[in-house]
């Protein structure tokens, strides 16, 4: 009887004491990943941005499927940034909510591009990003952005 009582108490302790539960990710920290990406675009320098994206991330822009980040960077974004003299975001706002190891972010902003000719392009934009908590950091696994001319 004594061994049964000890076994029951031992089992109760095992059930009651969690084994190093994984910490809940800080969903607001996902904004730092998005801020790094935004800064790279404004700097016209994409160095190191691949670390912000999962290798199988999918990028969607203004109705088009751009593929993974490496393809988007090499065939779309980098050539565009090389053609710009200046790029700046204004009125940037971000909201983030979390679900397990996933953060969902919505960004709204305006941006201005200055071309080498001096022509200025102004747009209002919105982006939805899905980030995953992987190996202690947030990485973008899906990014969908679109823009349009500001309303007069």
Q: pLDDT per position in the chain (152 positions), as tens?
A: 555 545 444 444 444 444 455 567 899 999 999 999 999 999 999 999 999 999 999 999 999 999 999 999 999 999 999 999 999 999 999 999 999 999 999 999 999 999 999 999 999 999 999 999 999 999 999 999 999 999 98
Name the pTM for this structure: 0.83
Tokens of 36: 């790094």
Residue for token pair 């982006």: 127
Burial of 149 (0-12, 13-18, 19+ CB in 10 A): exposed
CATH class of 26-148: alpha beta
- Give the domain ranges of the chain: 26-148
- Of 67, 60, 55, which Cα lies nearest the Cα of 139? 55
Q: Is 100 in contact with 90 (CB distance < 8 Å)?
A: no
Report pLDDT for 15.
Answer: 47
């Amino acid at each position: 009887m004594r061994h049964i009582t000890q076994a029951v108490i031992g089992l109760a302790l095992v059930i009651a004491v969690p084994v190093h539960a994984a910490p809940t990710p800080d969903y607001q920290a996902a904004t730092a990943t998005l801020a790094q990406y935004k800064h790279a675009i404004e700097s016209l320098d994409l160095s190191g941005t691949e670390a912000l994206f999962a290798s199988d991330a999918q990028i969607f822009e203004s109705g088009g499927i751009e593929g993974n980040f490496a393809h988007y960077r090499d065939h779309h974004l980098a050539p565009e940034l090389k053609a710009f003299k200046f790029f700046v975001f204004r009125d940037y706002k971000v909201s983030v909510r979390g679900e397990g190891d996933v953060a969902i972010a919505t960004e709204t902003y305006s941006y201005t591009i200055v071309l080498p000719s001096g022509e200025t392009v102004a747009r209002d934009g919105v982006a939805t990003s899905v980030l995953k908590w992987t190996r202690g950091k947030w990485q973008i696994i899906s990014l969908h952005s679109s823009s349009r001319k500001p309303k007069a």
